Amino acid sequence: MFLARAFHRIGQARYGEDWTGYEPHTPTYRASTFSIFDLVKKSHDELTSEEQEWLAGTARDRKAAEADPEGFAAVLQARHKARQQEESLAEQRAAAVQIEIITRCEAGDLISAWRPATGGKMEPTPAHYWNGAVQGRFDSCTMSMTNPFPPFLANHQIGFIFLEQASLERFLLSQPFAEKPSGLDIHLSPYLQVLVSIARKMQITPGNQPKKEAIMEEIKLAWTGQEPLGKTLVEYMATILREPESQLGRGNKKKSEIG
């Protein structure tokens, strides 16, 4: 999946309804890019719903300014303050998602790939290519495989960045507002979402029972809650993911060997 799209998928799964889809900007910022001179050239049917709403708001503001100039000035001041707060929160959300992607790509939890801008074969991106000053990649979702870190030099091929779908879907399951796995019509708490994601990531089956300690480490890495998980809770969660026989050290034995 293209990095820009994956960025918004992760944002939605992490922040739910607070994620507007315009990060690091806001819907207000989007509206500020409209030009009255361009919009008046369009017919009503050619205007998008956003453009129609913006024009209607402009007309209301003009009437309000004419009716009460001082009162409208106070309204504008309050709007400006609210807009600054909104923009600050949007920037914080975007930065948090960017850092999460960088951290997970470096750790190998998210698998990234590179494709030449002109088209061609996907190439896996080494995990250590995410260990550095790479925030600028999110501006255009591009990088160079031969010159991945600044200062950027000329004559290096630029390509687009993608995230592997499977690794992205596994990661999304650990987020608080992740979509439920297909086939489930019940609520999954953040704890259960983490357990599902770990079971998929580690490919846990009756015949593949990872060590409890390894599962515990994965749980701690996958947890994104505000408060860290306590040791006892992590142990309980790891226990739930393993077969009953595994608690007795018999998880990898053949059934014929189990009395």
Looking at the domain assignment, is residue 11 inside a domain? no
| 28 and 63 co-located in one domain | yes
| 83 and 124 co-located in one domain | no
- What are the tokens at 256? 């014929």
| 125 and 147 co-located in one domain | yes
Q: Which one of 102, 130, 147 terminates a domain?
A: 102
Looking at the domain assignment, is residue 21 inside a domain? yes
Q: Which one of 113, 144, 164 terminates a domain?
A: 164
| 94 and 51 co-located in one domain | yes
Pair type for strands 123-124 and 142-144: unpaired
In whole angstroms, give the CA distance from residue 149 to residue 223. Answer: 29
86 touches 23 (CB < 8 A): no
Q: Which one of 143, 164, 185 terminates a domain?
A: 164
| 31 and 95 co-located in one domain | yes
In whole angstroms, give the CA distance from residue 131 to residue 104. Answer: 11
Residue linked to tokens 């993608």: 162
Q: What backbone phi and psi angles, to 5 degrees, belong to 97?
A: -70, -40
Looking at the domain assignment, is residue 246 inside a domain? yes
| 82 and 149 co-located in one domain | no
Looking at the domain assignment, is residue 214 inside a domain? yes
177 touches 163 (CB < 8 A): no
97 touches 10 (CB < 8 A): yes
From residue 107, alpha-carbon distances to 131, 137, 210 in Å are 10, 18, 19
| 179 and 245 co-located in one domain | yes
- Look at the chain and report how many structural domains it folds into: 3
| 81 and 125 co-located in one domain | no
| 123 and 87 co-located in one domain | no
pTM value?
0.64
Looking at the domain assignment, is residue 8 inside a domain? no
32 lies in which domain range? 17-102
- What are the tokens at 194? 């983490």
| 151 and 113 co-located in one domain | yes
| 114 and 84 co-located in one domain | no
Closest CA to 16 of 231, 178, 222, 206: 178
55 touches 116 (CB < 8 A): no
Using DSSP, state whether 122 is helix, strand or coil. Answer: coil
In whole angstroms, give the CA distance from residue 115 to residue 77. Answer: 47
| Residues 175, 176, 179, 182, Cα dihedral to 10° | 80
Q: Please list the pLDDT of the chain residue by residue as tens digits (259 residues).
A: 999 999 999 999 999 999 999 898 877 655 666 676 777 778 878 888 877 887 788 888 888 888 888 887 888 788 778 888 989 999 999 999 999 999 999 999 999 999 999 999 999 999 999 999 999 999 999 999 999 998 877 778 899 999 999 899 888 888 888 876 666 667 778 888 889 888 888 888 888 899 999 999 999 988 887 788 999 999 999 998 988 887 766 555 433 333 3
Cβ burial of 36 (10 Å; 0-12, 13-18, 19+) is exposed
pLDDT score for 28: 67
Looking at the domain assignment, is residue 258 inside a domain? no
Looking at the domain assignment, is residue 68 inside a domain? yes
Looking at the domain assignment, is residue 10 inside a domain? no
| 98 and 109 co-located in one domain | no
pLDDT score for 56: 82
